[in-house]
């Protein structure tokens, strides 16, 4: 069983509905990379695609962008591969409602809940927990997940987990209310797939039997800020079954150069500062 996992697509970012300046906005790059992930799933005949939240760039999205995104997802789902989506913090834990999402192959986790996908006769359960930003709420939902007779069970999240790192200075999440301690996680899932952390990485939670459960962050599909300037972007492919494997797939990104910083760093510009207002 092969699951394509992506998150933090932030669709609609830098995509002016009525452009006022002559500049190539980066918004189309995010749509292009969404296309690449979905095309990859079709070409490799993935069993399931899961989205770990922050589908859109903010909670109020222009209707033209909502329609564009949902039409793309619906066109993908028409091909027969099911798609599961949770809401992230940028959607304030609730995706814009649309009739388009009432597709038989699209499952939206509007609240913490478990959905069983039947994939070529095999059953894969996904417990989806939309963004909480609160370790107590998140852990309660994760521990509440039903124990089911299925081949595999994944936990789909949009949270910070203890030990996750972000930014040019490797800020590390720990001991915060919004950060989930790994040891408190239920260990019975095959894997935790989470959005929210924009840098791709894997954390491990040791199980009592000596094995370990991966917490996988696919990262954002394009750079959403300068804090991500040095990061590779892409998505994850999770293989479940006898052979368990995790692979990150790169996507093309546009280089970000902090032009202002370079100018301020030049000596003649510093001299220019002395002229005063
Ligand atoms: Mn995000």
CA of 164 to the centre of ligand 1 (A): 14
> Contact at 8 Å (CB) between 247 and 200?
no
Would you call 42 helix, strand, or coil by DSSP?
Answer: helix
> Contact at 8 Å (CB) between 223 and 231?
yes
Domain count for the chain, please give it: 1
CA of 207 to the centre of ligand 1 (A): 29
Dist. CA 180–CA 177, nearest whole Å = 8
CA of 65 to the centre of ligand 1 (A): 17
CA of 241 to the centre of ligand 1 (A): 30
Which residue range(s) make up the domain with 85? 2-273
CA of 11 to the centre of ligand 1 (A): 10
Q: pLDDT per position in the chain (277 positions), as tens? A: 999 999 999 999 888 777 666 667 788 999 999 999 999 999 999 999 999 999 999 888 888 999 999 999 999 999 999 999 999 888 777 888 776 678 999 999 999 999 999 998 899 999 999 999 999 999 999 999 999 999 999 999 999 999 999 998 999 999 999 999 999 999 999 999 999 999 999 999 999 999 999 999 999 999 988 899 889 999 999 999 988 999 999 999 988 776 654 444 444 433 333 333 3
CA of 151 to the centre of ligand 1 (A): 30
CB atoms < 10 A from the CB of 245, how many? 10
CA of 27 to the centre of ligand 1 (A): 15
pLDDT at 258: 63
Within the chain, residue ranges assigned H as helices are 27-43, 63-78, 135-144, 259-265, 267-273
pLDDT at 102: 85
Q: Concatenate the DSSP letters of all residues of 128-143 into one string.
A: E------HHHHHHHHH
CA of 55 to the centre of ligand 1 (A): 8
Dist. CA 271–CA 125, nearest whole Å = 63
CA of 120 to the centre of ligand 1 (A): 32
CA of 273 to the centre of ligand 1 (A): 37
pLDDT at 267: 43
CATH of residue 100's domain is 3.60.21.10
CA of 169 to the centre of ligand 1 (A): 19
């Amino acid at each position: 069983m092969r699951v394509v996992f992506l998150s933090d697509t932030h669709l609609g970012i830098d995509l002016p509905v009525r452009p006022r300046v002559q500049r190539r906005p980066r918004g189309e790059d995010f749509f292009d990379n969404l296309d690449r992930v979905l095309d990859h799933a079709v070409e490799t005949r993935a069993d399931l695609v899961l989205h770990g939240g922050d589908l859109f760039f903010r909670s109020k999205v222009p209707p033209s962008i909502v329609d564009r995104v949902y039409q793309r997802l619906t066109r993908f789902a028409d091909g027969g591969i099911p798609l599961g989506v949770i809401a992230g913090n940028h959607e304030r834990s609730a995706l814009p409602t649309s009739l388009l999402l009432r597709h038989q192959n699209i499952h939206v986790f509007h609240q913490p809940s478990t959905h069983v996908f039947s994939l070529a006769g095999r059953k894969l359960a996904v417990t989806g927990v939309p963004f909480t930003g609160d370790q107590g709420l998140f852990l309660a939902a994760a521990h509440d997940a039903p124990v089911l007779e299925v081949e595999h069970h994944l936990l789909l999240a949009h949270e910070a987990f203890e030990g996750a790192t972000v930014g040019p200075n490797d800020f590390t999440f720990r001991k915060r209310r919004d950060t989930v301690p790994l040891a408190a996680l239920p260990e019975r899932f095959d894997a935790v797939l989470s959005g929210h952390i924009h840098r791709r990485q894997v954390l491990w939670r040791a199980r009592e039997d000596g094995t370990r459960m991966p917490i996988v962050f696919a990262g954002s599909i394009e750079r959403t800020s300068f804090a991500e300037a040095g990061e590779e972007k892409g998505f994850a492919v999770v293989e479940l079954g006898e052979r368990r494997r995790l692979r990150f797939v790169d996507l093309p990104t546009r280089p970000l150069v902090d032009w202002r910083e370079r100018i301020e760093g030049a000596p003649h510009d510093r001299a220019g500062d002395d002229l005063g207002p």
